Amino acid sequence: MRPAILDPLFSPVSALPGVGPKIADLLVKLLGRETVEDCRVVDMLFHAPHSLIDRRNQPGIARAPQGAIVTITGRVDRHQAPPNRKSNVPYRVFLHDETGELTLVFFRGQSAWLEKQLPLDEDVIVSGKIDWFNGRASMVHPDYIVKASETEHLPLVEPIYPLTAGLAPKTLRKIIEAALARTPELPEWLDLALTEKQGLPAIRDSFHMLHEPRDPSDIDPQAPARRRLAYDEFLAGQLSLALVRQRLRKVAGKPVHATGVVSSQILQALPFSPTQSQTTAISEILRDMSGDDRMLRLLQGDVGSGKTLVALMAMAAVIESGGQAVLMAPTEILARQHHATISSFAAAAGLGIEVLTGRTKGREREEILERIASGKAQIIVGTHALFQDSVNYRNLMLAVVDEQHRFGVHQRLRLTAKGISPHMLVMTATPIPRTLVLAAFGDMDVSKLTEKPAGRKPIQTITVPTERIGDIVGRLKSALAEGMKAYWICPLVEESEESDLMSVEERHATLASALGPGIGLIHGRMSGPEKDAAMMAFKSGEIRLLVATTVVEVGVDVPDATIMVIEHAERFGLAQLHQLRGRVGRGDEASTCILLYRGPLSETGHARLSIMRETEDGFRIAEEDLKLRGEGELLGTRQSGTPGFRIASLEAHADLLEIARKDAAYLIERDPELTGERGKAVRTLLYLFRRDEAIRFLHAG
């Protein structure tokens, strides 16, 4: 049960004054919530300002700089209404101070209202942006107009918030003020020594300081209020990960006794030997699985570093021990591809391998379910269909989750809910900086694959401006004639009015007319079977050029594709460019990646493309990406279960994340059920940050 003290903060936003159905819908959009019901008062408190306007700047009219926001006190001289109600001519009001004259400009101004707001011969205070034209100062639609006798109504320092179309800043400000007024005094869950050492204010004071900044330094990520809220956010995250860990650990694992019989058959049949880091990762996994505790390990490997082989060796060990293993992939294409790769590796050992996805229907599905239940199916590859209620395993000992930057602790718990407690290996091809691993996974054990398999040649990366697209098409024509295969990646599916990006369908048409037949198309709006057919035609060589959206980013394997063209490369994040580039250079031929960009490039765009040219090291690219874009983006923006922090930032607050991790571990060790005095306060923290799922694990025993 949520503590009653939080009730005022968990009322729906519609309970706040001024929030009707229309405004409520805008707030849902602004705050990234699913529904109006899901949008609560507390969400307003976490909507932080990104900058502030200082209206204390009062230089006098003549000294006001162009484009600056200033506050002017002056006397109203005259009103000039537009002639004959011409709507395209603005309403003007003239006022002066001792330094000069200012014209206030109002488009579609209502004369009755303006005469009341700006009475003749009265002193008024106006605040807004100054424009100079032909030596005359003007201010279009001032932000504030108050009579000099009512100065208390003018906010001198005003926070500026992220907005959404249709929501006025003043409206949002009033809603946030109402939310602040409802904030109760909450129990202190932080350790006194920490708050003193770090100079952190109390939680309620922090919310007030966040929304009532007095100075530009109050907006800084290092301001005490921001650091306090960032720490709380990290602590809530680390605590819920620790509680999940504790819950997973309570269910003992089944020790895996590897004999080496199956794995040696697979290794002998391989045309190459595993790299040093593959061998190390395999031994770490086997060591973890041989104990009584369940394994929970993250396998990080760059594109093409051979994670699938490591996973297969772990599966082989489980089969030697009489168990079954599943490999869960996020998409149908990937699941079928993993199935093909594993089948080819494991053919020598004669293993029973099945593939099960949402598209497996009817008689075929029933037969596969029977083989899974009987244990004949030793390795089962699939999508989340693997964990539906109708699927019963004979002896599931290992689950490999190919997360492909879709983290989410809670998805992993669905397995445990089935009463199954397999060892877990989570694979990701997005190299994640250490701080991000901590934020997303807590203290999960990590294995890294750092080398590329033998025989892989470096990929040459070049950047080319869009104006030279004709040269690229020409070079492509001769490459295809020589029998090469290429990808052409576009950022959008269809031309939309607000975007001048090339749509994939249009690009497919122009390339088909320039290069002739043998050009395929694949994008996210196609059905599963259509995508599979296009991929198969590309793999078999029926088509030599595949025009695609980023659907192909995820793990698609065509070893003889050697050219990758990425159009509007400046629009992609580094991690995504790196993933896409990793689709070529998978065979023994030299490969090229061409980044087409439209100038002029922003500073970030320029930095991104330079890093891509300089390095193929995914771990370095991930660190650079974190610097350039921040963590929300790096994790594949705002997916459920990602640490999309609202106040905390991994760049600005990395030092706090480390403290929060230790603090969470200490708390859980001392008070595993959170029933002590600090434990109860910490429960309030978890509810405040909507980490209710974690509290359920406490009750679940």
CATH number of residue 85's parent domain: 2.40.50.140
CB atoms closer than 10 angstroms to residue 516: 11
Tokens of 463: 């950047």
Q: How far is CA 157 from the centre of its chain?
A: 32
634 assigned to some structural domain = no
Q: Pairing between strand 379-382 and 353-356? A: parallel
DSSP 566: E
Rounded Cα distance between 350 and 333, Å, is: 24
Q: Quick one: residue 133, left, alpha or beta (phi over 0 = left, psi -120 to 50 = alpha)?
A: beta
HSE-up of 187 (CA within 13 Å, CB side)?
A: 16
What's the pLDDT score for residue 407?
Answer: 43
* Nearest Cα residue to 299 out of 137, 425, 165: 425
Q: In which residue ranges of the chain is pLDDT below 70? A: 85, 248-250, 303-304, 403-420, 430-436, 438-443, 453-455, 492-502, 551-556, 626, 628-644, 697, 699-701
pLDDT computed for residue 559 by the predictor: 82
Alpha helices in 20-168 (DSSP H): 21-31, 41-45, 111-117
List CB contacts of 112: < 8 A, sequence separation 6 or more: none
- Choose one of 557, 586, 615: the last residue of a domain: 615
Mean pLDDT of the chain, nearest integer: 85
Helix (H) or strand (E) holding 694: helix 692-699
Q: Is 127 in the same domain as 235?
A: no
Give me the number of domains the chain comprises.
5
What's the CA gap between 176 and 163, in Å, rounded?
13
CB 581 within 8 A of CB 587: no
396 shares its domain with 503: no
- Among 133, 154, 175, the domain-final residue is 154
Question: Do 310 and 512 meet the contact criterion of CB atoms below 8 Å apart?
Answer: no
> Is residue 293 in some structural domain?
yes
Q: What are residue 51's DSSP bridge partners?
A: 160
DSSP annotation of 5 reads: G
CB 300 within 8 A of CB 449: yes
Tokens 């025009």 belong to: 547
Q: Report cis status (omega within 30 of 0) of the bond before 600.
A: yes
129 and 216 fall within a common domain:
no
Is-cis flag, bond preceding 422, omega within 30?
A: no
Tell me the residue length of the chain: 701
DSSP 8-state secondary structure symbol assigned to residue 452:
P
Cβ burial of 496 (10 Å; 0-12, 13-18, 19+) is: exposed
Comparing CA positions, the residue from 134, 164, 176, 160 lying closest to residue 69 is 160
Query: What is the bridge-based pairing of β-strands 485-489 and 459-465?
Result: unpaired
Residue 436 belongs to domain spanning: 261-449
Same domain, 337 and 436: yes
Kind plus residue range of the DSSP H or E element containing 449? strand 445-449
Residues 540 and 689 in one domain: no
Q: How many CB atoms lie within 10 A of CB 671?
A: 15
> Is 493 within a domain?
yes
| Residue 160: strand pairing partners | 51
Do 355 and 488 share a structural domain? no
Q: Is residue 584 part of a domain?
A: yes
- State the Cα–Cα distance between residues 177 and 181, nearest whole angstrom: 6
Instruction: Clarify whether residues 70 and 179 are in a common domain.
Output: no
| Domain termination site, one of 113, 129, 154 | 154
Domain-embedded: residue 600: yes
Task: Say yes or no: 421 and 507 in one domain.
Answer: no
What CATH number should be reported for the domain holding residue 598? 3.40.50.300
Ramachandran category for residue 457: left, alpha or beta (phi over 0 → left; psi -120 to 50 → alpha): beta
Give me the residues paired with residue 131 across strands.
138
Residue whose pair of structure tokens reads 């320029």 in the numeric block: 606
Within-domain flag for 623: no
What's the angle, vertex CA 427, arms to CA 421 and CA 431, rounded to 5? Answer: 145
Closest CA to 694 of 666, 670, 664: 664
The answer on 238 and 206 residing in a single domain is: no
Contact 329, 340 (CB under 8 A): no
Does residue 621 lie in a domain region?
no
Residues 46 and 191 grouped into a single domain: yes
CA angle 144, 146, 150 (to 5 degrees): 135
pLDDT value for 137: 95
Write phi, then psi, for 380 (nearest 5 degrees).
-120, 120
Please check whether residue 175 lies inside any domain of the structure: yes
Nearest to 233 by CA among 595, 646, 602, 584: 646
**DSSP 3-state of 7:** helix
Q: Are residues 273 and 418 both part of a single domain?
A: yes
Q: Do 551 and 466 fall within a single domain? A: yes
CA distance 224 to 219: 10
pLDDT in tens, 163-176: 888 888 889 999 99
- State the burial class of residue 620 (Cβ atoms within 10 Å of its Cβ: 0-12, 13-18, 19+): middle
At 80 the three-state DSSP class reads strand
Confirm if 41 and 56 have CB atoms less than 8 A apart.
Answer: no
Residue 644, pLDDT score: 62
